[in-house]
Amino acid sequence: MNTAFAIPGNTLRYVAAVTVLALLAWATGLPAFINHAKAANVSTFSDTLSDSDLGVDATHTIQFELVDDFNASETLTVTFDPVDGDYDFDLTSVALGDIAVSAVSGGTINQVPAVGSCTGDPSQLYASDVNTVTDYIELTVCSSDTITSGTVMEIVVGSTNFINNPSTAGSYVIRLGGTNSNEGDARVAIIDDVTVTAQVNTQFTFSINPVDAGVAVNDDVTVTSGTTTATSVPFGVLAPNVPKLLAQELRVDTNAFNGFAVTVEADQTLTAGNGATIDTFTDGTDVASSTQWTGPAGTMGSPDTYGHWGLTSDDDVVSSTTPNLWGSSEALYVGDFVNNPVEVFYHNTPVQNDAGMGVGSTTVAYKVEVMELQEAAKDYTATLTYIATPVF
């Protein structure tokens, strides 16, 4: 059996009107308006991190402008990464004392340590909570105070203790909420640090250069008696009791961070084919502590005292345990350079060879003196070896 119902015309008009009103409401966002009637998006909302690397501690500097007043006893929360419920920031170490609030412009904010410290100032608030489960911090306005709209607030989280960044790279929401009507979202990017690399090749040039006759070396009273080359120190004929001085100039260019050092050693003392020797300064004792030049003693029956040769340098600051090894305003000599490298040139920073004496260049000199008993021979010889080393 079919049953028919009659609907009065005015009722149909009422239903139609309600339907149209409902459609208009949904089209214009009325439900959203009803649910968020109190919400007001803050402006210029930002969060600046001291370090955006993965898994590191960072200070958060949060700024935003209040659109509505922040009224008495209302709370404002800042939640870190609330979107997916993972709460990837770690606030475990953060304490209330690590939160500092101030007004950048547009108003005043007087932060007090706790609610019990409120004194009635119209712009007082305090840090009231750090939640380590859902990762938010909370601010509360004192019970009779107000932070006025238009105030640009700055919240700095991190002083003694800090928020630890997520361990996964990505973009993370920072959200304002609470019982106050001001709200908003900002984002921060957590990314791997970028490593910048570069390489500078080592530069090191060492040269041995001739020194002419008549040149004073390290303030010695004896000037050079002849000319050397890069590969020879030719003393020539030695006359009794007449000291001879020959020199070579050393030059260095280097960009080594800690500069360089140069040593010299002889493979033997001056030795002739017949076995005769001109011994090392002084009188064959191989003196290591630099000493002013003295002539050979010439004791008959003691061949070591018939003649000797020694070494000096114009670099009066070397890295050995005796920085003033070579003297200042005087020439000092050593004789322990046979099969023993002796430092003659040193500088502790990168240098260019034209930087001056003792920095980019120095003069190394060899002095010899014999007396009448020195054995005759035409082929006294020794080989010098310079070793130049950059120091990194």
Report the CATH number at residue 124.
Answer: 2.60.40
Neighbours of 88 (CB within 10 A): 16
Rounded Cα–Cα distance for residues 54 and 248 (Å): 59
Residue 287 domain flag? yes
Using CB atoms within 10 Å of the CB of residue 320, give its burial: 0 to 12 exposed, 13 to 18 middle, 19+ buried.
Answer: middle
Q: Are residues 183 and 300 in the same domain?
A: no
DSSP letter (8 states) at residue 132: T
Q: Are residues 141 and 252 in the same domain?
A: no
Query: What is the pLDDT at residue 321?
Result: 64
Nearest to residue 391, comparing CAs of 352, 349, 355, 361?
Answer: 349
Tell me which residues of the chain have a pLDDT lower than 70: 1-39, 320-322
Rounded Cα–Cα distance for residues 118 and 112 (Å): 7
Q: Are residues 307 and 174 in the same domain?
A: no
Domain boundary at 190, 219, 235, which? 190
Query: What is the pLDDT at residue 39?
Result: 55
Number of domains in the chain: 2
Query: What is the pLDDT at residue 21?
Result: 32
Nearest to residue 314, comparing CAs of 244, 215, 231?
Answer: 215
**pLDDT above 70: percentage of residues in the chain:** 89
| DSSP string for residues in 200-242 | ----EEEEEEE--TT---TT-SSPP-S---SS-----SPPTT-
Range of the domain at 269: 200-392
Residue 346 domain flag? yes
Residue 17 domain flag? no
Query: What is the pLDDT at residue 1?
Result: 39
C-alpha dist (Å) from residue 151 to 107, 111, 173, 189: 5, 14, 23, 26
Residue 31 domain flag? no
Query: What is the pLDDT at residue 361?
Result: 96
Query: What is the pLDDT at residue 382?
Result: 98
Residue 165 domain flag? yes
Domain boundary at 134, 162, 190, which? 190
Residue 8 domain flag? no
Q: Are residues 225 and 96 in the same domain?
A: no
Q: Are residues 288 and 151 in the same domain?
A: no
Q: Are residues 362 and 217 in the same domain?
A: yes
Domain boundary at 165, 190, 215, which? 190
Query: What is the pLDDT at residue 213?
Result: 97
Q: Are residues 244 and 124 in the same domain?
A: no
DSSP letter (8 states) at residue 121: -
Sign of the torsion formed by the C-alpha atoms of 104, 108, 110 and 111: negative
Note the pLDDT tens digit of each residue in 237-265.
999 999 999 999 999 999 999 999 999 99
Residue 53, SS3 per DSSP: coil
Rounded Cα–Cα distance for residues 94 and 227 (Å): 77
Q: Are residues 348 and 245 in the same domain?
A: yes
Q: For 179, how many CA atoms within 13 A lie in the half-sphere containing its CB? A: 9
DSSP letter (8 states) at residue 91: -
Query: What is the pLDDT at residue 17?
Result: 35
